Structure 1
Amino acid sequence: MGLDMLTGPDAGELLEAAVSTAGGHLEAWRVTQVDHRGEGTTVAYQATVQWPTGRTDDVLGASSLAADDEAPPGALTLSDGQNRVCVWRLPDDPGLPGLSAALGAETLSALLRSFGLDPAGLRTELVSYRPKRRAVIRVSSAGGMLYAKVLPPEDVEALHRRHEMLYNAGVPVPHSLGWTDDGLLVLENLPGTPLRRRLLQPDGKLPQPDDVISVLERFPPGVLGLNRRRPWSRRAPQYAQMIGHSLPAEAERARQLAEVIASALKDVPLGSDPTHGDFYEAQMMVDSSGRIVGLLDVDTVGPGSRVDDLACALAHCEALGLSSSAHAERSYAMSRLWQPVFEERVDARQLRMRVAGVLMSLATGPHRVQRPDWPAATGRMLDRIEDVLQDAPRR
Structure 2
Amino acid sequence: MLETSLLERAIGEPGRPVAVEPFGEGSIVRLTVDAGPNAGDWFVDTSRQAVAVETGFVVRGTEGVVARIWRHPLDPRLPALRTAVDPERLARIAAAAGTEGEIAARVLAYRPGRRAVVRLTQHDVHLFLKVVRPGEAEGLADVHDACRAAGVPAPAVVHWSPAGVVVVRDADGTPGPVAAARLAPEVLLDAVDALRERLLEVGTTRIARASVGTRAEWHLERMASALPERAAEIDALAPAVLGRVRREGPARVVHGDLHIGQLFFEDGRVSSVIDVDTAGLGDPADDAAAFIGHAIASAVRNEAADRPGDAAILRGLADAAAERWLRDPHATALTTLHLLAHGIRAAERSPESAHLLLDAAGAVAGTRAAR
Q: Does 1:94 align with 2:76?
A: yes
The residue number in structure 2 matching 1:270 is: 249
**Per-residue deviation, 1:329:** 0.5
CA contact (8 A) 1:34 1:42 kept: yes
Counterpart residue number, 1:135? 116
Residue 312 of structure 2 aligns with which residue? 329
Amino acid at match of 2:256: G
Distance across 2 between alignment mates of 1:84 and 1:242 = 20
1:283 to 259, 262, 272: 262
Summarize deviations over 1:95-135 as a string: whole Å, max 9, x none.
Answer: 11001111223432344456x56241211112122222221
1:31–1:248: structure 2 CA closer, same or farther, 3 Å change rule?
Answer: closer
1:357 to 321, 334, 353: 334
Deviations 1:42-82 (A, max 9, x none): 2223334545xxxx95332232374x967942212246889
Q: Contact 2:28 / 2:43 at 8 angstroms: preserved in 1?
A: yes
**Match for residue 318 of structure 1 among 290, 296, 300:** 296
Q: Secondary structure at the match of 1:324?
A: helix
Aligned to 1:20: none
Of 9, 12, 16, the residue aligned with 1:14 is 9
Q: Which moved more, 1:239-248 or 1:186-195?
A: 239-248
Shift, 1:205, TM fit? 6.3
Residue 371 (structure 1) aligned with residue 360 (structure 2) = no
Aligned partners of 2:10 and 2:57 also within 8 Å: no
Contact 1:166 1:220 in 2 (8 A): no
The amino acid across from 1:270 in the alignment is G
Identity rate, percent:
23
Structure 1 segment 225-264 matched on structure 2, within 5 A: 225-227=205-207, 230-233=210-213, 235-251=215-231, 253-264=233-244
The 3 A distance-change label for structure 1 pair 113 and 78 is: same
2:150 corresponds to 1:169: yes
In the superposition, relative to structure 1, how do residues 294 and 117 fare at CA in structure 2: closer, same or farther (>3 Å)?
farther
- Of 2, 6, 27, 1:5 maps to 2
Gaps of 5+ in 1: 18-25
Match of 2:25 in 1: 39
Whole-angstrom CA distance in 1 between matches of 2:50 and 2:317: 46
CA offsets per residue over residues 335-364 of structure 1, 9 Å max, x none?
A: 244444x35xxxx532x6414422323313
1:300 aligns with 2:278: yes
The normalised TM-score by structure 2 is 0.81
Alignment-mate amino acid for residue 92 of structure 1: L
Query: Counterparts of 2:261 and 2:276 in 1: how far apart (Å)?
Result: 12
| Equivalent AA in structure 1 for residue 248 of structure 2 | P
Match of residue 192 from structure 2? 212
Q: Aligned partner of 1:363: which letter?
A: L
Partner of residue 89, structure 2: 107
Change in Cα spacing, 1:38 to 1:252, as seen in structure 2 (3 Å) is farther
Cα 1:283/1:355, change in 2 over 3 Å? farther
Superposed displacement of residue 144, structure 1:
1.8
Question: Under a length normalisation based on structure 1, what TM-score does the superposition of the two structures give?
Answer: 0.77
- Equivalents in 1 of 2:45, 2:109: separation in Å? 18
Q: Distance in 2 between matches of 1:263 and 1:78?
A: 36
C-alpha root-mean-square deviation of aligned residues, in Å?
Answer: 3.4
Three-state SS of the structure 1 residue aligned to 2:250 is coil
| Cα deviation, residue 371, structure 1 | 3.3
Q: Structure 1 residues 218, 153: closer, same or farther in 2, change over 3 A? A: same
For 1:106 and 1:372, how far apart are their aligned partners in 2? 33
1:317/1:263 Cα in 2 relative to 1: closer, same or farther (>3 Å)? Answer: same
Amino acid at match of 1:274: V
Q: The residue matched to 2:177 in structure 1 has which SS?
A: helix
Q: Find the residue that maps to 1:221 and give its secondary structure.
A: coil
SS in structure 2 of the partner of residue 349 of structure 1: coil
Give ranges in structure 2 of 5+ residues lacking alignment. Answer: none
Mapped partners of 1:313, 1:61: distance in 2? 28
SS of 1:139 mapped into structure 2: strand
Post-superposition CA distance 1:148-176 (Å, at most 9, x none)? 11111132221111111112322111111
Q: Is this contact kept in 1: 2:241–2:336, CA < 8 A? A: no
Are residues 265 and 173 of structure 1, via their aligned partners in 2, closer, same or farther at CA, if it must alter by over 3 Å? same
Name whichever of 38-47 and 169-178 sits farther off: 38-47
Contact 2:19 2:348 in 1 (8 A): no
Q: Do structure 1's residue 383 and structure 2's residue 369 form an aligned pair?
A: no
Q: Which moved more, 1:190-199 or 1:138-147?
A: 190-199
CA gap 1:388/1:59 in 2 versus in 1, 3 angstroms: closer
Q: Provide the C-alpha distance between the structure 2 equivalents of 1:223 and 1:239, rounded to a whole number of angstroms.
A: 32
1:189 aligns with 2:170: yes
